[in-house]
Amino acid sequence: MIPIFKSVKIAATLAADDIRTNPGRSAIICLSLFFGVSSLLITLGVLRAMNREVEKELEANGGLKMIYYEVPRPTTAREKVRFGMSPGLLPDHVEHMEREISGLKFSVPRAYLHGRASYGNATYDVVDNAMGFHYQETYMAKSLRQGRFITEEEFKQIKPVCIIDSVLAAKFFRDSPWIGNKIAFNNVPMEVVGILSSENWDHVVHYPIPLYWKHFASRSTPLKKCDFMCKSEADVPRVKAAMETLLLRQHRGVRDFELNSMVEILAQEEQQRRIARRVMISVGTITLLLGMVGIVNVFLSLIHDRVREIGMLKALGSSNGDIFLQHLLEALLISFVGGALGVAGGTLLSRASFLPWPGLLLPADYFLAMGAACTAGVLSGLIPAWVAARLTPAKAIGWQ
């Protein structure tokens, strides 16, 4: 054990001397590892942030059991004529599908209007969201900040109640209490029963869709959007196929609609994320490999300048193993310094504003980054250390 500790001490002394006497070469090694390690951390942080955003989006959009109905915009005159032959998706059609298709749990019909909401002398342009009862539990469960949701009984009785976001609440009520107060949306008074956070909602008035049919449209007005919740993820393909068959029959054979499931949407996004992961990991790997090539060249140049020193050490009794270990440990120590700088730089750069998402780094990522830096340093130092160990004392001392 004593010779090992002695070799470590000598290696540490050599590394410190080299950093002090050859700051340029040491800076090249550290810079190479800085770029490699920081690229690795940025890749890990951004990929994890991207996955977190996908999870949040999935949770906010009802999960993997959702099927989305939308009406595409006709692009040709022929499509416009064909779409005009279809009655569209009517509320009666939605209720019929709920009764006929097993595996369908509930529907979430919705309609949008642009209008003006007013309270007292204050009036603002807003977007209204006429929603089905299950919309609240599906999309608004974590957004409620004050008050309550609209009850099922209020939906059935077509009560003039609504939920607004905190931005509108602050503008309308300021410091006065909002409970029991009414706002007017397009001249229809509605009692405010709840307030949502403004993280996902801004200048939006939510109210029961029966109120929309009573004041702004009718049940013969086709729905532009409607979401459907299946009982399980396994039911999604079968329910979607049954919906397509039933919708084509209701729409007189005209395909004026699109059905998308979250499973399909995620599959498309996963393909894009897979490409992004490959590109980012490739960039980080190439950067680290280029850094390793630079480190090998620097250490070979360093050994070239130390040939006579190595010959003297061998003449004084140092073995090939001692020389090999000393130079390998020197590479490891310098790589540790470069890796530490890369960890610090990667942590800061992963939160830079030019990235699509702020990076999310875990403690394991730092251990991985330092392990990659030290591994790169050791692998890069193997060839120079082997070259140094193979030098004979006579050749080294006579080196000019």
Tell me the pLDDT tens digit for each residue of 320-350. 777 777 777 777 777 888 888 888 888 888 8
pLDDT by residue (tens digit) across 216-254?
988 888 998 999 999 988 899 999 999 999 999 999 889
Q: Model-level pTM greater than 0.85? A: no
pLDDT at residue 114 is higher than 60 = yes
Distances (CA, A) of 213 to 117, 151, 221, 240: 18, 18, 8, 27
CB 272 within 8 A of CB 356: no
Q: Is the pLDDT of residue 396 over 80?
A: no
Average pLDDT, the chain: 81
CA dihedral 251, 211, 227, 192 (to 10 degrees): 170
Helix boundaries (H) for 191-261: 209-215, 236-250
Q: How many CA atoms lie within 13 A of 161 on its CB side?
A: 19
Q: Which residue has the higher pLDDT, 181 or 301?
A: 181
Q: Tell me the per-residue pLDDT of 127-165, one tens digit each, with 9 for 90 and over.
A: 889 999 999 988 888 888 889 999 999 999 999 999 999
Q: What are phi and psi of 255, to 5 degrees?
A: -90, 80
Angle in degrees, CA 120, 122, 128, rounded to 5:
100
